[in-house]
Amino acid sequence: MDHLLKLLDCTPEEIASILDLADQLKYERKHNIPHRHLEGKSVGLIFQKSSTRTRVSFETGIFQLGGQALFLSSRDLQIGRGEPVQDTARVLSRYLDGIMIRTYEQKEVEDLAKYGSVPVINGLTDFCHPCQVLADLMTIREKYGVLKGLKLCYIGDGNNMANSLIVGGLKAGMSVSIATPENYRPAKEVLDFAAGYDVFSLTEDPMKAAENADVVITDTWASMGQEDEKEIRMKAFQGYQVNDELMAAAKPGAMVQHCLPAYRGQEITEKMFEEHAAEIFEEAENRLHAQKAVMVTLMKK
Ligand code: CP
Ligand code: NVA
């Protein structure tokens, strides 16, 4: 594994080994066992969109591994003034040992990896959010002890989270059911991949998707970059809310996950959010451990 650009590129074994290492690093941090696997290494964090969790978990994560992070806002980089990604990649590769990038187009992340010579980690694009889904899988496995055979249900926008959950869930041996409005389906590339799995289903009916689910996941109805569509989206997603009624269709005691930030009263009710706050914030914490595992896997060479 040279990069983490999207989960479609990862084998089930690679995903499982990152999750195992993440569990180990979480244990070591809890017990103050040093794990400075990336002593003296630097990772650059390029952000073209806002972030709370991704930025802070990568910065502290590399520090705990003995390395350092450089926060690189695209507002300050020459890339924000039009310097080509091909040149940025070749320059940064001479200084850094790894690059994380959060941006709009998936192609930009792929190009960074293509033209650079250090590992590239996707910290969210419009297409996918692999780091988040590794943390989600870790959190679900912590609760149930396994992933294989569980039913993962996602309700809402067929966005970057939906795309990564479909691929990650199926590769982890879960059954995956998705409910989105007709015009907000997941990406074609992801649906083509999922078509090979008889444990995958896509519907417009949230109640049907939630039936017997072990874990119910949702995300904002308007992602970063879609601010102008907010009004039309609020209407399109009515009925796609994680609430009491929806959770009654899931298995008793089913888990709720949300990548955050959450919009209470929209994709999830205040009540459901607070009832499941412990597992949602565990999921947020696990970003740290999962990304440390990704950095060690890619950068400790
Ligand atoms: N879930 C997530 O990626 O959060 P941030 O946007 O705060 O990084
Ligand atoms: N789908 C959301 C996820 C935020 C972490 C977005 O892209 O804005």
Residue 53: CB within 6 Å of ligand 1? yes
Question: Looking at residue 215, which CATH number applies to its domain?
Answer: 3.40.50.1370
d(CA 176, CA 200): 5
The verdict on pTM exceeding 0.95 is yes
Active site residue 219: yes
Q: Mean per-residue pLDDT for 222-247? A: 98
CB atoms under 10 Å from CB of 170, counted, come to: 21
| 1 within domain boundaries | no
- Based on the fold, state whether residues 159 and 277 are members of the same structural domain: yes
In angstroms, the CA 177 to CA 213 distance is 9
The alpha carbon of 193 and the centre of ligand 1 are apart by a number of angstroms equal to 26
| 266 occurs within a structural domain | yes
Given pLDDT bands bounded at 50, 70 and 90, which one contains residue 173? very high
As a whole number, mean pLDDT of residues 122-146 equals 98
Same domain, 73 and 157: no
Q: Tell me if 220 CB under 6 Å of ligand 2.
A: yes
pLDDT at 197 over 90: yes
Task: Verify that 193 and 294 share a domain, yes or no.
Answer: no
Whether 237 and 291 share a structural domain: no
Based on the domain organization, do 117 and 163 belong to the same domain?
A: no
C-alpha span between 154 and 132 (Å, rounded): 14
Taking a C-beta distance cutoff of 8 angstroms, is the pair 213, 254 a contact?
yes
- Other CB atoms within a 10 A radius of the CB of residue 105 amount to 13
- Based on the fold, state whether residues 99 and 215 are members of the same structural domain: no
Same-domain pairing of 225 and 292 = no
| In a shared domain, residues 140 and 257 | yes
Question: Residue 301 — very low, low, confident or very high, per pLDDT cuts 50/70/90?
Answer: confident
Q: Report whether pLDDT(23) > 90.
A: yes
Predicted confidence at residue 98, as pLDDT, reads 98
On the question of pLDDT at 178 being above 90, the answer is yes
Q: Is 159 in the pocket of ligand 2 (CB under 6 A)?
A: yes
Q: Report pLDDT digits (tens) over 87-114.
A: 999 999 999 999 999 999 999 999 999 9
Residue nearest to atom 7 of ligand 2 (CA): 223
Q: One of 48, 106, 259, 266 is an active-site residue; which one?
A: 259
Indicate the number of domains in the chain.
2
Has residue 2 been placed in a domain? no
- Residue 56 CB–ligand 1 contact under 6 Å: no
Residue 74 and residue 101 in one domain: yes
Residue 231 belongs to what domain range? 132-283
Cβ–Cβ under 8 Å, residues 291 and 57: yes
pLDDT digits (tens, 9 = 90+) for 34-83: 999 999 999 999 999 999 999 999 999 999 999 999 999 999 999 989 99
Ligand 2 atom at minimum distance from 161 CA? 1
Q: Are residues 208 and 180 in the same domain?
A: yes
Looking at the domain assignment, is residue 222 inside a domain? yes
pLDDT in tens, 219-232: 999 999 999 999 99
112 and 195 part of one domain = no
Is the alpha carbon torsion for 164, 170, 172, 174 positive or negative?
A: positive
